[in-house]
Copies of this chain bind each other. A is one copy, B any other.
């Protein structure tokens, strides 16, 4: 079995935050009678090693750099745990695959997604007025809002003109 811990480099400036989050994850597991297995911790590290949004499959590939024995099933079984512990957020953009994102900055609920149909990236922007929208619209129906999601599909001007998206990397 091949296994290593995530490297701590100067560029990895969020290492301390990740450590704190990993402890929160361990605490969540312990508090719910769940075991801190090497697979769960590896999956957690892989998730927090991703800067951008990622899919379950991308997470699997990333985990396997840390521990190549981790199965796809464990990834799918661990994702809901990380979400329940509020360390991960699911981001549904209406695509076939679900996207996820580590929740470093506390509970960021009021965010809107802008999905670029050209560079295929997801930008998240603070939208504090969203909950007001939700209440306004729900109250007309006699319903109580639970959550709201605002999603903008947009296209990249420079991609349409030059064939290259400056953000695509």
Contact = CB atoms under 8 A, between A and B. Distances in A.
B158 A138 contact: no
In terms of DSSP, what is the predominant structure of the interface of chain A?
strand
B114 A143 contact: yes
Nearest to A131: B152
Interface stretch (A30-38, A42-50, A65-73, A121-129): A121-129
A150 interface: yes
Contacts of A142: 156-158
Interface residues of A, number: 34
Contacts of A151: 148-151
Given A92-B94, A94-B92, A94-B94, A144 B154 contact: yes
B127 A141 contact: no
